[in-house]
């Protein structure tokens, strides 16, 4: 019977539409794609293909999947975490479930290898799965009193200096109360999912995805006492740019890059959740040990 992690029950047994999307370099995986598509059709699913997948397998007739436009029950993402972030950023407004197949390297989000994918899907369709609920951030960019950009992020939002090696000043408030003025190379505002990404590289903590938190991690601050801080995700973060440099960037999940200006205000808060389909035996701590190389002997439990 299906189990749902940190959320409501959802049955894949009633699923009818599945989309397949993938990373750009698809070499050596043609057989995997063809086998997967054949299996899904035999299972009674209506299959949608991203255009690059259809071109790669030379499909003459297919249902076109347009990320952000085509609503499906589940998306099978063939690639690494970057591919998943791309699709999630385009599909977060739909009630869609994501299933990651790791064709990349690190793969914190796409943990399932392509070997035996049909057998794995068979288990999922039989109800042997959990739903892994992950929080997303809503980001609004305010300029001269008007919201000029609005988007969401699964991993993190980054404010950074674009060209010169100069510190930028970022006045930061939490729920309208002053936290600090960061004087640093930038600031990362991350979700627990993103705590193992850029934030970790900048010295931030690893936060379990079930923890309701937002992580603020300064990038190379000039004050030793300005350390990463973890706050409840019920809080709203407001960051005002207090530097008049020509190029300061606002980046989301490594997918979107926006130039920001002096006195721009970035508003960040919890947006909602997306769901990843997982097998019951998947283990977050085992993933950490394996991906981060914590010890030579990885226990399988």
Distance CA 288, CA 237 (A): 28
Degrees, nearest 5: CA angle 279-283-287 = 115
Strand (E) or helix (H) holding 90: helix 81-91
Q: Which of 81, 132, 253, 264 is catalytic?
A: 81
Strand (E) or helix (H) holding 172: strand 168-174
What's the DSSP call for residue 79?
A: E
DSSP string, 6-18: SS----GGG--EE
Q: What is the three-class DSSP state of 142?
A: strand
Q: Examine the residue annotation and report whether 81 is marked as an active-site residue of this protein.
A: yes
The answer for residues whose C-beta is within 8 angstroms of residue 122's C-beta and 6 or more apart is none
> Cβ of 216: how many Cβ atoms within 10 Å?
24
Task: Identify the bridge partners of residue 258 per DSSP, sorted by sequence position.
Answer: 250
Active-site annotation, residues: 81
């Amino acid at each position: 019977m299906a189990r749902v992690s940190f959320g409501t029950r959802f049955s894949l047994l009633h699923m009818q539409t599945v989309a397949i999307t993938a990373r750009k370099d698809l070499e050596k995986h043609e057989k995997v794609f063809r086998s997967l598509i054949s299996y899904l059709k035999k299972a009674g699913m209506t299959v949608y293909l991203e255009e690059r997948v259809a071109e790669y397998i030379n499909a003459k007739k297919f249902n076109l999947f347009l990320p952000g436009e085509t609503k499906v029950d589940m998306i099978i993402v063939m690639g690494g975490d970057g591919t998943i972030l791309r699709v999630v950023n385009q599909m977060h407004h739909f009630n869609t479930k994501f299933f990651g197949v790791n064709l990349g390297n690190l793969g914190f989000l796409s943990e399932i290898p392509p070997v035996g994918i049909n057998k794995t899907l068979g288990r999922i369709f039989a109800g042997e799965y959990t739903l892994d609920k992950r929080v997303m951030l809503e980001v609004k960019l305010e300029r001269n009193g008007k919201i000029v950009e609005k988007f969401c992020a699964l991993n993190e939002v980054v404010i950074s200096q674009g060209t010169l090696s100069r510190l930028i000043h970022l006045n930061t408030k939490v729920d309208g109360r002053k936290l600090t003025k960061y004087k640093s190379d930038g600031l990362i505002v991350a979700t627990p999912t993103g705590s193992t990404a850029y934030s970790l590289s900048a010295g931030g903590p690893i936060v379990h995805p079930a923890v309701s938190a937002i992580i603020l991690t300064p990038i190379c601050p000039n004050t030793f006492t300005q350390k990463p801080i973890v706050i409840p995700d019920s809080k709203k973060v407001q960051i005002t740019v207090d530097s008049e440099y020509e190029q300061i960037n606002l980046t989301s999940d490594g997918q979107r890059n926006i130039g920001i200006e002096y006195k721009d205000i970035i508003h960040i808060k919890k947006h909602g959740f997306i769901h990843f389909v997982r097998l019951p035996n998947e283990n977050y701590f085992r993933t950490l040990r394996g991906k981060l190389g914590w010890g030579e002997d990885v226990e399988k439990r």
